[in-house]
C-alpha cells in the first residue's frame, strides 16, 4: 500500500514488527486514521529530501478514544478494515 492510499477516515489495523537479534515482536493497533503525512525522522541522514529520511506518520484514533501517532516503515503491515 502506497502513502497515497492511506487516507483519513479509513478504519485500519496496523501491525508493526520490532526485530531483535534472536526474537521479534509484533504489535497491532486498530482504529480510524485522523491524518497521514510523510515527516522527517529526527536526525537520520539518508540523502532524502532536506537530507532526512522521510517516513509516513499516521494519527490513529483507537476505539476507546485514545490517539496514537504511528510511524510506518518497512516492518509495518497496514490492513484496511473499512472506510
**Domain of residue 52, CATH code:** 2.30.30
B/e letters for 36-57, b = 16+ CB within 10 Å, e = fewer, are beeebeeeeeeeeeeebebbbb
Domain tally, the chain: 1
Q: CA 68, CA 47: separation in Å to the nearest integer? A: 28
Strand ranges, E, within 41-75: 54-62, 67-72
pLDDT, residue 73, reads 86
How would you classify residue 51: left for phi > 0, otherwise alpha for psi between -120 and 50, otherwise beta?
left
One digit per residue, the tens of pLDDT, for the chain of length 83 reads 555 588 999 999 999 998 889 999 999 999 999 999 988 776 555 555 555 677 889 999 999 999 999 999 888 999 999 87
Domain span including residue 36: 3-82
What sign has the CA pseudo-torsion 50, 55, 56, 60? negative
CA nearest 51: which of 62, 43, 59?
A: 43
pLDDT score of 12: 96
Residue 6: its pLDDT value, please?
86
Amino acid at each position: 500500500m502506497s502513502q497515497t492510499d492511506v487516507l483519513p477516515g479509513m478504519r485500519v489495523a496496523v501491525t508493526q514488527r520490532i526485530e531483535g537479534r534472536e526474537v521479534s515482536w509484533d504489535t497491532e493497533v486498530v482504529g480510524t486514521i485522523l491524518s497521514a503525512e510523510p515527516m522527517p525522522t529526527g536526525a537520520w541522514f539518508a540523502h532524502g529530501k532536506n537530507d532526512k529520511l522521510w517516513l509516513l506518520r499516521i494519527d490513529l484514533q483507537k476505539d476507546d478514544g485514545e490517539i496514537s501517532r504511528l510511524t510506518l516503515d518497512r516492518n509495518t503491515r497496514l490492513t484496511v478494515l473499512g472506510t
